[in-house]
């Protein structure tokens, strides 16, 4: 590429936010090029995961019939692991099993991103792969292009959209955010384990394209703020753990993230679900936990930041990322269309982007869970001690013996009183209600 190559908009990153932005721009007839470091869109991408499709379905009303989703989420389970036992709550309302399937689909990012990228190209945008952007190019303080570092290897544009995901080096280099420390990132490792379609359906009680999404709290990631998960693909399952990077670095117990995943897989509640499977893929990825309180600057002259690069991820129980990423990509494109109309890409015009985000569910949801992680971080009893105690209490209550039930109840009561400061627990529960729900 030579310095003379120019496009109206450059989008860095072919994840959901970059592709949604490029698709919307291309549909408006704005010349757009997406630059992706992977060999193909999706090659380097990973998520749990549930693809929340409400935004995607607005772009592609035929999503249900066309997109390469694995299974719809027909069943969700939330479980607490403790020692060698599990206490779980699952939900499978009938509307999960009927179109639009609660807009929740288990998918593989490699396939979903590739499909989406094809639609983007069909809409008229170009996608350049195998190109890692190293920095923005500036003219009088305005971003005017990108470079991969070589003298002769640059690309110019009226505006650049940075959609480079969680490990956002470019926003850091540009001084749009302070240095990202371990307290602002979680790490996730996961395996795809092939089991075969009929084994999955028997083991998880599924029929047809129905899928299951299981999340495990408590000792799934002992002593760390995070959780374990299992999602059923068509003929494999995704099994993984995600946890706070700062907790992990502080804990220093010599366990690697892979050891934590292995321990999770060996828990008596999990091992029967993964038994006999063949690991066909292993992945690791960062998850931003910046949240509402640490949003970066979202725009500058000639530059917009979208998706995970901007920390737009709902890190509460909802784990929503792709729909926020796509919504932000679309808002960026709409803002750019207005800027294009005026031929004005200054930060004043681009500030519309932030207004659109603030008026939408994206920033409203981030604000709603702004204390989620910090509250749990400061009240670890909620994720460790209380669930473990609750589990033990239930186990003791149902333990069969010749002890009179009145004695069992008294022992349980004494055990709770010994292990829990009731005033403290009441305060924690009130705090949990205000900050977590
Ligand atoms: C383990 C895990 C589980 C998750 N589970 C869920 C879930 O169940 N549901 C959900 O909604 N969300 C989930 N998420 C979050 C979700 O994946 C993200 O919020 C979403 O992918 C963000 O999209 P994005 O386009 O902003 O970034 P990404 O999807 O990360 O895409 C960024 C793209 O930019 C490319 N890139 C990066 N740097 C450069 C560069 N310098 N030059 C060129 N290209 C570059 C990357 O290769 C990538 O293709 C999960 C995330 C993880 C890690």
Q: Is 12 in the pocket of ligand 1 (CB under 6 A)?
A: yes
Query: Is the CB–ligand 1 distance for residue 105 below 6 Å?
Result: no
For residues 423 and 436, give the distance between their C-alpha atoms in angstroms, rounded to a whole number. Answer: 19
User: 25 and 332 in contact (C-beta within 8 Å)?
Assistant: no
CB neighbour burial string for 360-383, b if at least 16 within 10 angstroms, e if fewer: ebbbebbebbbbbbebbeebebbb
Atom 17 (ligand 1): residue with closest C-alpha? 47
The CB of 239 under 6 Å from ligand 1? The reply is no
Q: pLDDT tens digits for 104-148?
A: 999 999 999 999 999 999 999 999 999 999 999 999 999 999 999
- Token pair listed for 63: 């999503």
Helices 385-398, 405-419: inter-axial angle, 10-degree rounding: 170
Closest residue by Cα to atom 26, ligand 1, is 307
pLDDT at 108: 93
CA distances from 403 to 78, 149, 254 (A): 32, 75, 43
Provide the token pair at 358. 């603030």
Residue 406, Cβ density class (10 Å: 0-12 exposed, 13-18 middle, ≥19 buried): exposed
Ligand 1 near 257 CB (within 6 A): no
- CA dist., res. 264 & res. 256, Å (int): 13
Residue corresponding to tokens 């069909």: 122
Point out which residues pair with 100 in neighbouring strands: none
Instruction: List, for residues 49-66, the tens digit of each pLDDT value.
Output: 899 999 999 999 999 999
Q: Where are the alpha helices (DSSP H) in 124-241?
A: 169-173, 197-204
The enclosing H or E element of 108 equals: none
Joined together, the tokens standing for residue 223 give 């002593």
Site to probe by mutation for ligand 1, drawn from 17, 21, 49 as the one with most ligand atoms within 8 Å of Cβ, is 49
Residues 6 or more apart whose Cβ sits within 8 Å of residue 413:
none
The pLDDT of residue 49 is: 83
Atom in ligand 1 nearest the alpha carbon of residue 132: 42
pLDDT at res. 4: 55
- Between CA 412 and CA 166 the distance in angstroms is 45
Closest atom of ligand 1 to CA, residue 213: 8
Q: What is the pLDDT of residue 1?
A: 45
Is the minimum distance from the CB of 370 to ligand 1 under 6 angstroms?
no
CA of 326 to the centre of ligand 1 (A): 11
pTM (2 d.p.) = 0.93
Atom of ligand 1 nearest to the CA of 188: 1
C-alpha 339 to ligand 1 mean position (Å) = 27
Q: Using CA positions, which residue lies closest to atom 20 of ligand 1?
A: 322
d(CA 91, CA 238): 20
What is the DSSP annotation of 19-75? HHHHHHHHHTT--EEEE-SSSSTTTT----SEEE-HHHHHH-TTHHHHS---EEEEE
Report residues of the chain scoring pLDDT below 70.
Answer: 1-4, 151-152
């Amino acid at each position: 590429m030579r310095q003379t190559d120019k496009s109206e908009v450059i989008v860095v990153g072919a994840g959901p936010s970059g592709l949604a932005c490029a698709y919307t721009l291309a549909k408006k007839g704005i010349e757009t090029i997406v630059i992706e470091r992977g060999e193909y869109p999706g090659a380097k991408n990973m998520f749990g995961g549930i693809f929340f499709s409400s935004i995607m379905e607005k772009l592609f009303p035929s999503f249900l019939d066309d997109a390469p989703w694995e299974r719809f989420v027909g069943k969700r389970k939330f479980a607490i692991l403790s020692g060698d036992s599990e206490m779980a709550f699952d939900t499978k309302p009938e509307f999960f099993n009927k179109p639009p399937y609660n807009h929740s689909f288990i998918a593989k990012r490699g396939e979903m991103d590739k499909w989406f990228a094809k639609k983007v190209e069909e809409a008229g945008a170009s996608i350049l792969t195998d190109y890692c952007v190293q920095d923005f190019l500036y003219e009088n303080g305005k971003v005017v292009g990108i470079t991969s570092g070589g003298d002769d290897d640059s690309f110019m544009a009226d505006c650049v959209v940075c959609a480079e995901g969680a490990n956002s080096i470019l926003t850091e280099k540009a001084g749009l955010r302070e240095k990202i420390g371990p307290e602002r990132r979680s790490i996730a490792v996961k395996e795809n384990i092939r089991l075969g379609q009929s084994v999955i359906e028997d083991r998880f009680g599924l029929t047809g394209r129905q899928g299951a999404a299981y999340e495990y709290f408590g000792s799934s990631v002992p002593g760390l703020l995070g959780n374990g998960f299992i999602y059923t693909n068509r003929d494999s399952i995704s099994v993984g753990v995600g946890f706070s990077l700062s907790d992990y670095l502080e804990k220093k117990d010599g366990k690697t993230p892979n050891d934590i995943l292995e321990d999770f897989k060996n828990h008596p509640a999990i091992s029967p679900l993964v038994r006999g499977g063949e690991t066909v893929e292993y992945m690791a990825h960062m998850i931003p936990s910046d949240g509402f309180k640490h949003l970066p600057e979202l725009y500058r002259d000639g530059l917009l930041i979208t998706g995970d690069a901007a920390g737009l991820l709902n890190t509460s129980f909802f784990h929503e990322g792709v729909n926020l990423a796509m919504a932000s990509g679309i808002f960026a494109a709409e803002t750019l269309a207005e800027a294009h109309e005026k031929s004005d890409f200054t930060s004043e015009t681009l500030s519309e982007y932030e207004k659109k985000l603030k008026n939408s569910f994206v920033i409203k949801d981030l604000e709603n869970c702004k204390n989620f992680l910090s509250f749990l971080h400061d009240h670890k009893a909620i994720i460790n001690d209380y669930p473990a105690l609750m589990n033990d209490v239930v186990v003791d209550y149902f333990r069969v013996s010749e002890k009179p039930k009145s004695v069992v109840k008294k022992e349980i009561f004494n055990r709770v009183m010994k292990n829990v400061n009731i005033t403290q627990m009441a305060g924690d529960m009130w705090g949990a209600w205000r900050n977590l729900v």
